[in-house]
Amino acid sequence: MQLVGGNPNAPIVPNGKNNLVYFLEETKQADIFLAYYTSGKTAQATKGGDNLQIVELPEYLATKANYGLTTLKNADPDGEKLAEYILSQEGQEILTKYGFSAPSTSVPEHQGAGAILLAVGVALILKKKQALVKK
């Protein structure tokens, strides 16, 4: 069953409820829940989630995501501060707690020209949006 993730027919999770805890512990609609590691950690920290156990998938089944952080030239100073905090020791400790690995300053090898073009495209769209907001 696809209980989350944009399924228009998914059951509604009441406001303020964690979806993993809700489906696994409260409604018992599922015996297991395939989710991101961070979602599992959040569910464990939620009221009623202390009985949940995270089992990591074997490497050949695990989906990995590479996230990036980019700031624009002349970006809002608060955005710069957020980026600096994320990259700070305290920010990295928080991310590590939730299963994220240390940052790298390069584009991963498997990310070819398409990923670079996508990143540049997103940056241009954000720059246009920023210019419109200033008007």
Q: What is the pLDDT of residue 76?
A: 87
Q: What is the mean pLDDT of residues 30-50?
A: 90
Looking at the chain, the whole-number percentage of residues with pLDDT higher than 70 is 76
Dist. CA 52–CA 34, nearest whole Å? 13
Q: What is the pLDDT of residue 70?
A: 83
Question: Which amino acid, 121?
Answer: G
Q: What is the pLDDT of residue 21?
A: 94
Higher pLDDT, 86 or 103: 86
CA 57, 60, 61, 63 dihedral sign is positive
Confidence band for 17, pLDDT divided at 50, 70 and 90 = very high
Cβ pair 40, 54 in contact under 8 A: yes
